[in-house]
Amino acid sequence: MRKLFWLMVLLLVAFFARPIWEEPVGEYVDLSFLDSVDRTIENIAENEEIALVLDEAQDFTARVSGQLQALVFSSAVELPEAVAKPELAETDSLIAVHNVTLGMSKEKAQEKTGLPLRLMRNEYGTDWHSYHQDYQNYVLLSFDTEGKVNGMFTNQDLISSNEGITMKSTKIEVRSLLGAPLKSLQKGNVQYILDTREEYDVFKTNDAYTTVFYDIHEGDTVTAVQVIDETLEKARPEIYAESDEALKEGYEFLLFELTNSARIQRDLPLLKWDEQSKLTARKHSEDMAENEYFSHTNLAGQSPFDRMKEDGIGFYVAGENLAYGQYSSIYAHEGLMNSLGHRENIVKPEFGFLGIGTAFNTQNQPYYTETFFNR
């Protein structure tokens, strides 16, 4: 009977811990001044004698719309000056990031990375220290109370490995080198089933937990790596961190940084943080978390664009990504990148601004709203 009880608990945990994504909202381009032209054409198109002419007129307005969009989008945005990638040295460790390894002192690590540009609270109760040059050579490091590296992450070609793992390695190759990935993580009396969807693997390696993320649209090659010291992982009491304002802001800024890190690798203009759209996005995340729904359309029937206009945000193109239930912003971003519709918003050249709002439900599961736009 006891075994049956724990089996039921395990199944419930697996179900409620399942992360999901909402399909992204399609592109919105504000060319509403052409609507009156089309409406006028439609109102008088019943006259058969001029129907053909009016059809041609509608085609003309459609062409004008497309040409205006192209004209607006073609405004050149200069990319940051290119920064050379550091020369990656051989390592005795399974994974080194930017030549930094677990246990390395902060002083020695920052000799390689430079000083951090931002600190962001993470799900382990420490801070991710963010290192980059205009999001090039992007690295996250965490430090313990003694100033030793106890967490590392990168989604750029900055890893070296004594097993030969690189960003060109495939899922099959990684598994052949590291063995079978974990299917679950034990936290207290609860065993959390990892709903990886074959998009990432978690390996218990030496004294660390190594998560390898894959790009399913690029041959299941490695797209990011996170390495967490065993002591830090075991100190995390539950799969979802206890929510507070610091974690909320940490998740928001981290998702923003990961987006720009993805864009710079594709030679795309960097997005600027927008505080007003962050507030709009956060209100939607809070609404979803409090009222237990998950949709681009809120309970009042408002679309993302309705909410932006209501908050006085002017734009000519906009889009929205939603995610829910991921263990952190890293998992949310990598999942969104593996969905072509969400990926399109993340790497859309026409977008110039991004606001991100995060909220948590009573189970500490995060809701993410990403608001992309240009004005």
How many angstroms separate the most distant Cα atoms in the chain?
84
Q: Are residues 273 and 175 in the same domain?
A: no
pLDDT at 3: 53
pLDDT at 31 over 80: no
pLDDT at 34: 34
Q: Is 77 helix (H, G, I), strand (E, B) or coil?
A: coil
Q: What is the CA radius of gyration of the chain?
A: 23
pLDDT band at 6 (very low <50, low <70, confident <90, very high): low
- The boundaries of the domain holding residue 104 are 95-239
Q: Are residues 169 and 260 in the same domain?
A: no
pLDDT band at 20 (very low <50, low <70, confident <90, very high): low
pLDDT at 71 over 70: no
Element (H, E) at 29: strand 28-29
Alpha carbon distance 203, 212 (integer Å): 8
pLDDT at 265 over 60: yes
Does 90 reside within a domain?
Answer: no
Tell me the pLDDT tens digit for each residue of 322-360.
Answer: 999 999 999 999 999 999 999 999 999 999 999 999 999
Alpha carbon distance 293, 342 (integer Å): 19
Last residue of one domain, picked from the residues 220, 239, 258? 239
Q: Which of 245, 300, 255, 309 is nearest to 277 (CA)?
A: 309
Sign of CA dihedral 319, 335, 362, 237: negative
For the chain, percent of residues with pLDDT exceeding 90: 77
Alpha carbon distance 150, 144 (integer Å): 6
pLDDT at 55 over 60: no
Q: Indicate the residue type of 181.
A: P
Q: Are residues 120 and 57 in the same domain?
A: no
Does 109 reside within a domain?
Answer: yes
Higher pLDDT, 53 or 373: 373
> Could you tell me which residues are beta bridge partners of residue 228?
151, 209
* Degrees to nearest 5, angle at CA 368 with 254 and 303: 135
First vs last C-alpha separation in the chain: 62
At a CB cut-off of 8 Å and minimum separation 6, what does 240 contact? 17, 123, 327, 363, 364, 365, 366
Tokens of 200: 């990432």
Contact status, residue 88 vs residue 158, Cβ threshold 8 Å: yes
pLDDT band at 16 (very low <50, low <70, confident <90, very high): very low
Give the mean pLDDT of 166-173.
Answer: 98
Does 82 reside within a domain?
Answer: no
Q: Are residues 20 and 138 in the same domain?
A: no
Q: Are residues 254 and 235 in the same domain?
A: no
Q: Are residues 359 and 285 in the same domain?
A: yes
Q: Are residues 366 and 318 in the same domain?
A: yes
Does 86 reside within a domain?
Answer: no
Q: What is the CATH number of the domain that holds 103?
A: 3.40.33.10
Tokens of 94: 């399974």
Contact status, residue 346 vs residue 321, Cβ threshold 8 Å: yes
Q: Are residues 65 and 119 in the same domain?
A: no
Q: Are residues 273 and 340 in the same domain?
A: yes
Does 78 reside within a domain?
Answer: no
pLDDT at 87 over 50: yes
Q: Are residues 24 and 120 in the same domain?
A: no
Last residue of one domain, picked from the residues 239, 264, 285? 239
Instruction: Give how many domains the chain has, as a whole number.
Output: 3
Element (H, E) at 142: strand 136-143
pLDDT at 105 over 60: yes
Mean pLDDT (the chain, rounded): 86
Q: Are residues 185 and 100 in the same domain?
A: yes
Does 332 reside within a domain?
Answer: yes
pLDDT band at 52 (very low <50, low <70, confident <90, very high): very low
Does 288 reside within a domain?
Answer: yes
Tell me the pLDDT tens digit for each residue of 183-228.
Answer: 999 998 899 999 899 999 999 988 999 999 999 999 999 999 999 9
Give the mean pLDDT of 83-112.
Answer: 97
pLDDT at 205: 87
Last residue of one domain, picked from the residues 239, 261, 276? 239
pLDDT at 78: 77
pLDDT at 19: 64
Q: Are residues 105 and 218 in the same domain?
A: yes
Does 161 reside within a domain?
Answer: yes
